[in-house]
Amino acid sequence: MKNPTAELVAEAVAMKNGGATFGQVQKATGLNYSQVWLPWFRQANADRIIDPEASNYKNLLARARGFQRVAGGSGFVRNWALPETSWGELSALTGLPESRIRKTFAEYTGVDSEGLRMGKGGRWLNDDQQWYMGERPDDLRRVKAGTDFIAGKAGKAEAPTMKPQGEAPPKAKRTPNAAKKAKAAKLRAKANSTTFAPEAEAFHAKADKLEAEAG
């Protein structure tokens, strides 16, 4: 819907806050996913809004990405104790295009704005930094779970496996409806992890259909 009224947007946000799914809100209001998600997200995270006109805006942007200035020197380093806000969420929190905040971040910190993603070393194995040689998960030498060893590490400590050791309990058989609900949950997770609105909308639509079929 082009140029929805403030009243309609407020109604959509109220519906979402009342427990309705994005799909239900979209169907009732005629708004698309982005038109519902953006105002809902900004209201739900009002305490995290970042003002681009603030004097410390660039530093707030860096911290939101989990970086802080090197003590007693120049440059920025990743502080793993700080949460990392996605570029899509930062775009919503600042009200600026993602491309613009990426450029500002890179110019201010000297850090590449390319994000870390799962499957490319985006997380520490078992959330434990000891299994890496570099200071970031994507530096290099990420070990394969349970098989490889870190070159040069004292004692060549074996990497932990991603799954618990021992016999796994037998998997319970899922009913067709349970399987559909599980698939719908995965689609919701994919929708919430992407910053590309049309893709998120498609995931939510598929999830709505599966949930309706499951009852």
pLDDT tens-digit map of 1-46: 678 888 999 999 999 999 999 889 999 999 998 899 989 999 999 9
Look at the chain and report how many structural domains it folds into.
3
Residue 190's alpha-carbon distances to 28, 84, 120, 202, 209, in angstroms, are: 23, 18, 17, 10, 16
| pLDDT exceeds cutoff 90 at 143 | no
Per the CB < 8 A criterion, the answer to whether 7 and 31 are in contact is no
98 with 65, same domain? yes
Residue located via tokens 């799962």: 118
- Grouping H, G, I as helix, E, B as strand and the rest as coil, residue 132 is coil
Tokens for 132, please give them. 């890496």
* CA 70 and chain centroid, separation: 26
pLDDT score of 56: 93
Mean model confidence pLDDT for the chain? 75
12 with 81, same domain? yes
**Torsion region of 198: left, alpha or beta (phi above 0 gives left; psi -120 to 50 gives alpha):** alpha
For residue 201, is it within any domain?
yes
Helix H or strand E encompassing 77: strand 76-78
For residue 1, is it within any domain?
no
| pLDDT exceeds cutoff 80 at 211 | yes
Tokens for 58, please give them. 């660039």
| Greatest pairwise CA separation for the chain in angstroms | 65
Count of CB atoms situated within 10 Å of the CB of 16: 20
24 with 85, same domain? yes
pLDDT score of 154: 36
Cβ within 8 Å of residue 131, ≥6 positions away: 124, 125, 142, 143, 150, 159, 160
| pLDDT exceeds cutoff 90 at 212 | no
162 with 180, same domain? no
58 with 130, same domain? no
Instruction: Quote the pTM value.
Output: 0.52
Buried b (16+ CB within 10 A) or exposed e, 97-130: ebeebbebbeeebebebeeeeeeebeeebeeeee
93 with 57, same domain? yes
122 with 141, same domain? yes
95 with 131, same domain? no
153 with 105, same domain? no
75 with 42, same domain? yes
For residue 181, is it within any domain?
yes
93 with 15, same domain? yes
Rounded to 5°, angle at Cα 160 from 159 and 161: 120
For residue 104, is it within any domain?
yes
CA distance 39 to 36: 6
Please identify, among 65, 85, 109, the residue that sits at the C-terminal boundary of a domain. Answer: 109
21 with 91, same domain? yes
Torsion, CA 176, CA 209, CA 91, CA 105, rounded to 10: 40
For residue 15, is it within any domain?
yes
Q: Which amino acid, 23?
A: G
State the residue range of the domain holding 61: 6-109
For residue 21, is it within any domain?
yes
Per the CB < 8 A criterion, the answer to whether 32 and 26 are in contact is yes
